[in-house]
A and B are shown apart, each in its own frame.
Chain A
Amino acid sequence: MNSNTYLESSSPHIHQGISTKSIMRDVIIALLPALVASIIVFKIRALIIVVLSVVSCVLGELLWQKTFKQKVTIDDLSAVVTGILLAFSLPPSVPYYIPVIGGIFAIIIVKQIFGGIGKNFLNPALASRAFLMATWPAVMTKWTLDGISTATPLELLNNASPNLPSLWEVFIGYTGGSIGETSALALIIGGIYLLYRNVITWEIPVSYIGSVFLLSFLFCNTGTPFIFALYEIFAGGLLLGAIYMATDYTTSPVTKKGKFIMGIGCGVLTFLFRTIGQTAEGVCYSILIMNLFVPMIERHTIPRTFGEVK
């Protein structure tokens, strides 16, 4: 008689092998081309800011979880992603205390207080950037390129300035702006990787970028509409926001219809911020506002169950 007893557990008994950690690792890989571009454009300073931000995020999470005797989750790499995204949204000339304070704010105030990964209702990197903007507005809007003060392409575009860089320069990324947002090419390469790896789906980036393009094209106030619309999507933080931030799992809808609403909502708001607001940007606040609508969007976009007769 065999009296061995075996483990009893609920099905399924096999797993695909994709973990939170492997997903976050893919996001980091996807952000590497933009990191390289930022170091080429803004030199070593860009790297220092990224490192400071990442270290602050990871240490912030570690300290919080140790203090409150929670399971330490820094090895899921999500704090690293937050750190990179925060640094990417900062001007390269910020003093070094900015990424440190920003990183700690993102992780403790925006993420851990609400219960950690999966529980926050705002994107930590963006909420922290908004906090930094409100607290240190001067350093947060000071743009430099090669050590010389400059304006961002969007500001130049709004002012119809003759110094506007060419579309190609904007696409490649040799322009003023936040650390990670300058190279549209690098961001698109990373986005394609994320789509290929099934880390993100196309609905939010395409509907977000598409609606900004369409609105800019339709309501163009300077130059040819097509060129103007291309500037609007390649310049500024739109690609960084649409590909890497509006798609943040925790703060975007899980339903397909919801993703379109999220993307279009972000697009419309970004366009309004850029045209009606006094700021040339608008991606950060647009996504944060849409974050707040996510629970409501999900409630109203529950997909039709197979066999459901309405």
Chain B
Amino acid sequence: MNTLTFKNGVHPPYNKELTENKPVTKLLPKEKAVFLMQQHTGAICQPIVKKGDRVLVGQVIADAVASMSAPIHSSISGEVVDIREIPYAEGAHIPAIIIKNDHQYEEYNPIHNLLDYKELSREHIIDIIHKAGIVGMGGAAFPTYIKLNPSNYKKIDSIILNGCECEPYITCDYKLMLNEPIKIVKGLNIILHLFPNAKGYIGIEDNKKEAISAIEKAINDIGASDKIEIKILETKYPQGSEKQLIYAILGREVPIGKLPADIGCIVQNVATSYAIYEAVAYRTPLISRIVTVTGDAIANPQDFWVKLGTPFQDLIDAAGGFIKKPVKIISGGPMMGITMPNTNIPITKATTAILCLTEDAAPIFEEENCIRCGRCVRVCPMNLLPLYLDKFGRRNDIERFEKINGTSCIECGCCAYVCPSYIRIVNSIRKAKRNITANNNIKG
């Protein structure tokens, strides 16, 4: 079978061998769990519990009335000991609910009836997904119920499950595909039930042979091969980027300023599909996920099945702690992950990995003059001119930045990865994009 792909991109060292052949360890939080009030793209949640309350597993502890939000559930039972702002990435402070673990894991709604989704209406299923707090689990954390409810839902012809996991080091989706292929495919069945005219695709990179056979077997076992097809993709970064994945599988380009739904397709991460199945079939909210703990600073890199809210430090300890001094603690992968100021940061719905890198693996270079080598242009999967976006971004020349479609940048980092002058291209592009968004908000 020939592998599909997109144009340009890079082949970084994948370093997945650190964790890919180890089993997933189940891990419970030690003394507390911390729930950030912002775990998704959209409105920040408000706590609906107060200090001193006892909460149970699966109980909603925060919600928002805004149109784009997802409720947050407790993953443990125990007492709310504090509600305060905690330091987060980039100097931000985010309100959080801190719950002391009573280790009882008493459940809020212990009835887990297996429900037949086929008897539920479209609106009902979307409501279940909303109430389960499900967001995109690949990193972007967009509320899933909104993505599954486009106005033109009858025109959606393709649902793509993203099992690419193109970021180096990370193996959480791979492990989920190995451990729960049936539930992932059944989750896709539920999504397909919402879109009467759609066909399902599961895209996996060709370096994940075992996941490909596990998913293939699952599709056959549940007799879904007539409407679900597996698509094998070239192992190349950023293959798992939504637009690049759609192009690779369907040959369609999402027009600038439009959404995938506008060209008839919707992409969900495999972990999101699993969460949808758990929510619709068993009414289980999103309170746990697989997280890869890895990097050259970690003693025993591995994947953990972990409760949301578990502090990074608990996972790092469970992975044997540090064998070398890390310079960066990254939430996510080395290409797009976000550096965290400390290890008290908790696991959120979209935390795919805790990557602890030493200075050898994540060297810090001084920026040099751009020599116009054009490497950034050749690797850009959006076919942009990163060297000019960087220049215009730094000068705050928003007009020219927008004229060459700077806002289309997906911040994948290919340009800065190859830049021989170590220019932090993504950083200046990101800043320019934020300025544009802020200006647009002011203009209203």
- Which A positions have Cβ atoms within 8 angstroms of B? 1-16, 18-20, 22-23, 73, 76, 78, 115-119, 201, 249-250, 252, 254-255, 302-309
What B residues does A13 contact at CB under 8 A? 328, 330, 334-335, 337, 339, 355, 357, 362
Q: Which of B74-82, B199-207, B379-387 contacts A (4 or more CB under 8 A)?
A: B379-387
Q: A4-B342, A307-B408 are in contact. Are A11 and B10 (CB under 8 A)?
A: no
Top 10 A-B pairs ranked by shortest CB distance?
A: A12-B413, A10-B427, A254-B374, A118-B369, A305-B405, A14-B334, A8-B339, A306-B382, A13-B362, A118-B371
A4-B343, A6-B341, A255-B385 given; A76·B372 CB < 8 A: no
A14 near B361 with CB under 8 A, answer yes
Q: Count A-B pairs with CB separation below 8 Å.
A: 163
Which residues of A lie under 8 Å from residue B168 when comparing CB positions?
Answer: 14
Cross-chain contact B243 with A11 (CB below 8 angstroms): no
Bound: A14/B414 CA distance, A: 10
Instruction: Check if A118 sits within 8 Å of B372, measured CB to CB.
Output: yes
B340 within 8 A of A: yes
13 A-B pairs with CB atoms under 8 Å apart are A6-B341, A7-B328, A7-B364, A9-B339, A9-B364, A10-B427, A11-B411, A12-B334, A14-B12, A16-B417, A73-B368, A118-B372, A306-B253
Closest residue on chain A to residue B257 by CB atoms = A307
Instruction: Report yes or no: A304 in contact with B383, Cβ–Cβ below 8 A.
Output: yes
User: Is the CB–CB distance between B417 and A6 below 8 Å?
Assistant: no
Q: Contact between A11 and B420 (Cβ–Cβ < 8 Å)? A: no
Q: Is the CB of B342 within 8 A of A2?
A: yes
Residue in contact with A12 in the complex, picked from B342, B385, B405, B417, CB distance below 8 Å: B417
The answer to whether the Cβ of B95 comes within 8 Å of any Cβ in the partner chain is no
> How far in angstroms is the closest Cβ of chain B from A255?
7
Contacts of B258 in A (CB 8 A): 307
With known contacts A11-B426, A18-B418, A249–B372 Cβ distance under 8 A: yes
Q: Which residue of B lies closest to A250 (CB)?
A: B372
Contacts of B153 in A (CB 8 A): none
Closest partner residue, chain A, to B247 (CB atom): A306
Q: Please measure, in the bound complex, the distance between the C-alpha atom of A306 and the C-alpha atom of B405, giving whole angstroms.
A: 10
B420 and A23: CB pair below 8 A?
yes
Q: Which residues of chain A come closer than 8 Å to B378, judged between CB atoms?
A: 201
Interface of B, helix, strand, loop or mixed by DSSP: loop
* Option from B90, B254, B355, B426 in Cβ contact (under 8 Å) with A307: B254
A80 to B371 Cα, complex, angstroms? 15
Residue in A closest to B91 when the chains form the complex, CB atoms: A8
- Chain A residue contacts of B368, Cβ below 8 A: 20, 73, 76, 117
Q: CA A13 – CA B7 in complex, angstroms? A: 23
Q: What is the CA–CA distance of A3 and B329 in the complex, to the nearest angstrom?
A: 13
Separation of A250 and B413 alpha carbons in the complex (Å): 23
The CA of A36 and the CA of B348, in the complex, are separated in Å by 62
Cβ B383 vs Cβ A306 within 8 A:
yes
Q: List residues 372-414 of chain B with CB under 8 A from any CB of chain A.
A: 372-375, 377-378, 381-385, 387, 404-405, 408, 411, 413
Indicate if the CB atoms of B369 and A309 lie closer than 8 Å: no
In the complex, chain A residues whose CB is within 8 Å of the CB of B344: 1-2
User: B208-233: which residues lie under 8 A (CB-CB) from chain A?
Assistant: none
Let me know if B363 is at the binding interface, CB within 8 A: yes
Is B327 in contact with chain A by the CB < 8 A criterion?
yes
- B370 interfacial contact with A, CB 8 Å: yes
**Which one of B335, B342, B405, B420 has the highest number of Cβ atoms from chain A below 10 Å of its Cβ?**
B420
The reply to whether the CB of B89 lies closer than 8 angstroms to some CB of chain A is: yes
Q: Which residues of A contact B421 (CB under 8 A)?
A: 19-20, 118
B424 close to chain A: CB less than 8 A: yes
Encoded as 1 (CB less than 8 Å from any A CB) or 0, chain B from 250 to 289 comes to 0001111010000000000000000000000000000000
Contact assessment for A116 and B369 in the assembled complex, using a CB-CB cutoff below 8 Å? yes
List of B residues within 8 angstroms of A255 by Cβ: 374, 377, 385
Closest chain A CB from B152 CB (angstroms): 18
Chain B nearest CB from A232 CB (Å) reads 29
Q: A6-B340, A307-B255 are in contact. Are A250 and B371 (CB under 8 A)?
A: yes
Beta-carbon contact of B362 and A309 below 8 Å: no
Q: Tell whether, in the assembled complex, residue A308 and residue B405 are in contact, meaning their CB atoms are under 8 Å apart.
A: yes
Complex CA–CA separation, A8 to B88 (angstroms): 11
Provide the residues of chain A in CB contact with B424, threshold 8 Å: 9-10
Chain B residue with minimal CB distance to A252? B372
Across-interface contacts of B355 in A (CB, < 8 A): 13
- Output the least CB separation between B121 and chain A (Å): 34
Question: Whole-angstrom distance from the CB of B296 to the nearest CB of chain A?
Answer: 11
Assembled-state Cα–Cα distance A74/B260 (Å): 49
Q: Given contacts A2-B344, A4-B342, A117-B369, are A10 and B430 in contact (CB under 8 A)?
A: yes
Nearest-CB residue, chain A, relative to B341 = A5
Give the distance to chain A from B354, nearest Cβ to Cβ, in Å: 12
**Does B117 count as interface, using CB distance less than 8 angstroms?**
no
Could you tell me if B338 and A249 are in contact, using CB atoms closer than 8 angstroms? no
Nearest CB of chain A from residue B31's CB, rounded to whole Å:
11
B365 proximity list for chain A (CB < 8 A):
15
Q: A303-B385, A309-B256 are in contact. Are A12 and B372 (CB under 8 A)?
A: no
**Residue-wise interface mask of B (162-192) relative to A, using a CB-CB cutoff of 8 A (1 in contact, 0 not):** 0000001000000000000000000000000
Q: Which of A19, A117, A307 has the most CB of B within 10 A?
A: A307
Interface flag for B416 (CB, 8 Å)? yes
Q: Determine if B364 and A302 form an interchain contact, defined as CB atoms under 8 angstroms apart.
A: no
Chain B residues within an 8 Å CB radius of A1: 344
A-contact bits for B101-132, CB 8 A (1 contact / 0 none): 00000000000000000000000000000000
**Which of A16, A76, A78 counts the most B-chain CB atoms under 10 A from its CB?**
A16
Supplied contacts A15-B417, A73-B368, A73-B369, 9 more A-B pairs, CB within 8 Å: A13-B339, A14-B335, A23-B371, A255-B374, A303-B377, A303-B383, A306-B7, A307-B243, A309-B256
Chain B: minimal CB distance from A246 (Å) = 14
Let me know if A11 and B337 touch, CB within 8 A.
yes
Cβ distance B92 to chain A, nearest Cβ, rounded Å: 11
B426 partner, pick from A12, A19, A201, beta carbons under 8 A: A12
A306: B residues at CB distance < 8 A = 7, 243, 247, 253, 381-383, 408
B335 and A11: CB pair below 8 A?
A: yes
Minimum C-beta distance from A257 to chain B (A): 11
**Closest approach, in angstroms, between the C-beta of A256 and any C-beta of chain B?**
8
A305 touches B339 (CB 8 A): no
Query: What's the minimum C-beta distance from A48 to chain B, rounded to whole angstroms?
Result: 30
Taking CB atoms, residues of chain B closer than 8 Å to A305 are 256, 382-384, 404-405, 408
A135 to B315 Cα, complex, angstroms? 72
